[in-house]
Structure 1
Amino acid sequence: MDPNRGVPRRGLVWRFIQACIVAAAFLFVTDTVAASNAASGLSDASRESMRVPQWLYLSTGGAVIGASALLASFVTDRGFIREIHDWQRNRSLPDSVRRSAVAAVRALGVVGLVVVVYTGVTGPQIPTVSFAILVTFVGVRAGLTMVSYLVGNVWRVLNPWRTLTEYLPAGYVSYPSRVGRWPAVFGLFVLVWIELVTAITTRPAVLASVVVGYSIITITGAVLFTPDTWFHNADPVSVLFRFYGSVSPVTRDSTGVSVALPGSGLVESEPVDGFADVAFVIALIWELTFSGFVTTTAGAQFVESVVGFGVPPLLVYGSLLLGGYGVFAGAYWIGAKLTRRTIATYVTPQSLALRFAPPLLAIAAGYHLAHYAGFFVSMSPSLTTALTAPFSPPANPLVLTLPDWFGGLDIAFILLGHLLAIFVAHVTAYDLFPSRLQAIRSQYPFVAVMIGYTVLSLWIVSLPSATPPYLG
């Protein structure tokens, strides 16, 4: 029997509002705990000196996800769910304005690539004033990625390699369809490894060399397989920005821009359409978790203890990178199998894994915002100086000191990403299953996986930072 039969739409709206209020209350409690830690200067202290027990603050964060999932189950009216999801506003742009903007952004991307390589080789080898370092890691790694999931993906237009290869003859080799986006998965791990074990974040000349090597590979691939094929399937940077852009409330097409609710583009299984895409989405979450862990005191102590047994440092980092990813991917796959067993559906675990993977992109966006928002804000004056005077670096670069309460935002960003993921999973479940009971119960295993991701991320951001050992 339909539990909502006879319930007025106004009652359903009130239930949804109540759910949001309770979830916000949990979020406020958790944020207050984190803010009190930061205010006490505990971010640089040992964990034993925390005024609030760490287990309490971690369990509170996990409770936010669990409670929000339970509260979302009260919203079971399919028409109301679809009404929320389908809300959208469109705005057309004149062709002349759109063409001029595209041309300007493309030119900016090509000029930026040239200046990054030039200043990396000839400019000062000081990371805090180097145009190459600041633009690559503050502007692109942090800032442009945040723009992708907050405002919309502009990389397709800004991408300098796409702009260059569109003027070259291409399409000499057919791209094998069975390969899918596995090259992008492999490429993402390669980029994470290079960022970890090389000096590209501190030595501009090394960064310039890597950019040149990346340019050769990318241009060659685009010429062989056509730019559309290469950047849609094999280029890890393009796939990363496109996936993050699917979380954004703003989308762009040939006529103008559309504004919808955040995460609306994740429900129809776009952009995930294969197991390589699922692997890439999980890799986005894990690479942020991995990067965060190895730059904490706990991560440094773990590496040092394992190396103490005679294991080479690079083997320790490599095993942690791949082994941790295996744990994350395995947990998600177990969740898909448990879902099928729990609700006794004809839908296969493979199909469930594909349909429930897009909500994970909201989690990845929350993780990224938590890891890089403070970094971007503190380095924004230096980035601004580099952009306005790329060939005249200042003698004393300006770096902002963030207030103590800013650390509490890291917790809020992680939890908000998970709350959005739960809402998208809720809409997906009701789109997939005809039974309300099946739709509700299908989310439980995946929510359990999300809670595990949440607690681990909250634990990492609560730890003092440290320099990864054994990496020159």
Structure 2
Amino acid sequence: MLLLPTGAYISAGVAVVALTVIALFAIPERAVTRMFSVRALPSRGFGTLPVVTSLLSFCVMCFGIYIGIYGSRNPLSNLMPLGFWTVGWIALVSLAAFLGNIWTWINPWVGLYHLLRIKEPLVRLPEGTGVWPATLMLVAFAAFLLADPAPDDPARLAQLVAAYWGFTFLGLILFGPNWCRRAELGQVLFAAFASLAVIRLQPPAGIGGPGWQIAQAPPVRAAGLFALTLLGVGSFDGLNETFWWLGQIGVNPLEFPGRSAIVGVTVMGLFGAILGLIVAFAVVVWLGMRLARKQVPFGLAFGWLALCVLPIALVYHMAHYLTAFIVGIQYTIAAVSDPFATGADLLGIQPFRVTTGFFNRIDTVRLIWVTQAGLVVLGHVWSVLLAHRVAITLFGDHRRAAIATLPLSIFMIGYTFLGLWLLAAPKGA
């Protein structure tokens, strides 16, 4: 990105978000509420179909584990890391915001649990558990993603996936389906991004402006912290690759020693990024409440407004991994055609060559950068509007909501700059 005028793009993106904040003081309240209005739809059941798809997903997972352990040791030709990271972590997580909670269809536990016909859980989760367990799972997953020396090693990843499946299935047997809703990372993660979807088919079913599900009802306990943790993970995922960060931890980016040399400092940086974001967000919410001069429970305001950062977390996830997906999906197609790396051509696509030539052409690089920057700016504008809609419910009227969210809006303007800078900054790890 160094050959592009990224400074101009960053300035323009920040200006767009700032103008959105200013416009909120002028546009009528009904315009904002209409953006996130909802029309009820009849709830639709799918019978045993999710059970069937879950069993199929379980079979796919078992095949992936087998491939990971006994297949090629090259992560770029093994379907375990390609399927997990490129298809699962990058593509499916992003699609949840458009297609809804697809994890309810593809999670690999529900089908087997249904076959066991367990009527009552053996143990009940304590009241008020919220999604705290899933939040801790997210932190552990992020530490593996960002600090582990070889997160894409096929055998290592396969063993971890198998262990996580067993752990979650044990929790499902002990605590029942509530375990998945509170502790299973995939379920909570997909549900979080699915709350941004335009349409919802499960009760309460409806169709409305993107984010209407967040605007309609207060969050469950710790859901706001989960959203902030997700944003903190995404932000540090971009930061820890930059020359700036490597310089701060005393690493020459041109002589990168490998992940194993910086495991501890990476984990500490991840924790610091998450905690710093939570503290900063709490401060801006508190300042907004003081400016609004209306008594609202801090926990309610903090948790509900924190969900409004989900659009930022989503678009940064999409923008950050865009280039990795473009390359990774090519390797995935090649691996599907030759799953055991034996020279097979099941899809009939040989000779197939993975190309990265578009990174060497200024026109395609510009297109990629503009797409990434556009996503980031769109997500921040979306978050500003959604936060204002939630604030109208919290504080009672349009004017007070604009005042209450002013510190938060300034925070989001600053985060726009950070997100665009992270995309443009030179990387060395």
* Structure 1 equivalent of residue 348 of structure 2: none
Q: Which stretch has the larger CA shift, 57-66 or 260-269?
A: 57-66
State whether structure 2 residue 138 is matched by structure 1 residue 188. yes
Q: Given the superposition, is the C-alpha separation of residues 51 and 146 from structure 1 closer, same or farther in structure 2, using an over 3 Å criterion?
A: closer
Q: What pairs up with 1:8-23 in 2 under 5 angstroms?
A: none
**Aligned equivalent of 1:342, options 266, 282, 291:** 291
Distance 1:199 1:393 in 2: 27
Distance 1:108 1:418 in 2: 37
Q: Is the 8 A contact 2:67 2:78 kept in 1?
A: yes
Deviations 1:378-411 (A, max 9, x none): 3223323434553456588643434212122111
Give the 3-state SS of the residue equivalent to 1:177 in structure 2.
coil
Give the 3-state SS of the residue equivalent to 1:179 in structure 2.
coil
* Structure 2 equivalent of residue 253 of structure 1: 202
* Structure 2 equivalent of residue 222 of structure 1: 172
Q: Given the superposition, is the C-alpha separation of residues 156 and 378 from structure 1 closer, same or farther in structure 2, using an over 3 Å criterion?
A: same
**Aligned equivalent of 2:125, options 169, 172, 175:** 175
Distance 2:197 2:342 in 1: 34
**Aligned equivalent of 1:406, options 346, 351, 368:** 368
State whether structure 2 residue 407 is matched by structure 1 residue 445. yes
Distance 2:266 2:59 in 1: 36
Distance 1:249 1:393 in 2: 44
State whether structure 2 residue 110 is matched by structure 1 residue 159. no
Q: Could you tell me which amino acid in structure 2 is paired with residue 299 of structure 1?
A: W
Distance 1:423 1:238 in 2: 26
Q: Could you tell me which amino acid in structure 1 is paired with residue 354 of structure 2?
A: V
**Aligned equivalent of 1:61, options 13, 16, 20:** 13
Distance 1:81 1:243 in 2: 22
Q: What pairs up with 1:230-379 in 2 under 5 angstroms?
A: 230-253=179-202, 258-269=206-217, 272-274=219-221, 276-305=222-251, 313-379=262-328
Q: Is the 8 A contact 1:148 1:248 kept in 2?
A: yes
Q: Which stretch has the larger CA shift, 182-191 or 385-394?
A: 385-394
Q: What pairs up with 1:417-432 in 2 under 5 angstroms?
A: 417-432=379-394
Deviation for aligned residue 1:210: 0.6
Deviation for aligned residue 1:197: 3.0
Distance 1:397 1:213 in 2: 35
Distance 1:331 1:197 in 2: 24
**Aligned equivalent of 1:83, options 34, 39, 44:** 34
Distance 2:150 2:171 in 1: 23
Deviations 1:198-231 (A, max 9, x none): 35543100111111111121111111111x2111
Q: What pairs up with 1:195-210 in 2 under 5 angstroms?
A: 195-210=145-160
Deviation for aligned residue 1:67: 1.0
Give the 3-state SS of the residue equivalent to 2:200 in structure 1.
strand
Extract unaligned runs of 5+ from structure 1: 1-37, 43-49, 468-472
Q: Is the 8 A contact 1:130 1:393 kept in 2?
A: no
State whether structure 2 residue 426 is matched by structure 1 residue 464. yes
Distance 2:203 2:274 in 1: 38
* Structure 1 equivalent of residue 361 of structure 2: none
Give the 3-state SS of the residue equivalent to 2:373 in structure 1.
helix
Q: Is the 8 A contact 1:269 1:354 kept in 2?
A: no
**Aligned equivalent of 2:81, options 130, 133, 142:** 133
Q: Given the superposition, is the C-alpha separation of residues 181 and 102 from structure 1 closer, same or farther in structure 2, using an over 3 Å criterion?
A: closer
Q: Is the 8 A contact 1:267 1:358 kept in 2?
A: no
Q: Is the 8 A contact 2:9 2:373 kept in 1?
A: no
Distance 2:203 2:212 in 1: 19
Q: Given the superposition, is the C-alpha separation of residues 298 and 81 from structure 1 closer, same or farther in structure 2, using an over 3 Å criterion?
A: closer
Distance 2:43 2:175 in 1: 33
Deviations 1:277-300 (A, max 9, x none): 221110110111111111223233
Distance 1:179 1:90 in 2: 30
* Structure 2 equivalent of residue 124 of structure 1: 72
Q: With structure 1 as the length reference, what TM-score do the two structures score?
A: 0.79
Q: Given the superposition, is the C-alpha separation of residues 303 and 388 from structure 1 closer, same or farther in structure 2, using an over 3 Å criterion?
A: same
Q: Given the superposition, is the C-alpha separation of residues 60 and 324 from structure 1 closer, same or farther in structure 2, using an over 3 Å criterion?
A: same
Distance 1:89 1:392 in 2: 50
Q: Given the superposition, is the C-alpha separation of residues 198 and 314 from structure 1 closer, same or farther in structure 2, using an over 3 Å criterion?
A: closer
Q: Could you tell me which amino acid in structure 1 is paired with residue 326 of structure 2?
A: V
Distance 2:147 2:352 in 1: 26
Q: Which stretch has the larger CA shift, 170-179 or 438-447?
A: 170-179
% same residue: 24
Q: Given the superposition, is the C-alpha separation of residues 175 and 393 from structure 1 closer, same or farther in structure 2, using an over 3 Å criterion?
A: farther
Deviation for aligned residue 1:111: 1.6
Give the 3-state SS of the residue equivalent to 2:125 in structure 1.
coil
Deviation for aligned residue 1:450: 1.2
Q: Is the 8 A contact 2:144 2:151 kept in 1?
A: no
Distance 1:416 1:215 in 2: 36
Give the 3-state SS of the residue equivalent to 1:378 in structure 2.
helix
Q: Given the superposition, is the C-alpha separation of residues 171 and 325 from structure 1 closer, same or farther in structure 2, using an over 3 Å criterion?
A: same
Extract unaligned runs of 5+ from structure 2: 345-350, 359-363
Deviation for aligned residue 1:254: 7.1
Distance 2:173 2:6 in 1: 56
RMSD, aligned α-carbons? 2.7
* Structure 2 equivalent of residue 106 of structure 1: 54
Distance 1:408 1:327 in 2: 29
Q: Could you tell me which amino acid in structure 2 is paired with residue 422 of structure 1?
A: V
Q: Given the superposition, is the C-alpha separation of residues 417 and 118 from structure 1 closer, same or farther in structure 2, using an over 3 Å criterion?
A: same
Q: Given the superposition, is the C-alpha separation of residues 120 and 444 from structure 1 closer, same or farther in structure 2, using an over 3 Å criterion?
A: same
Q: Is the 8 A contact 1:58 1:459 kept in 2?
A: yes
Deviation for aligned residue 1:371: 1.3
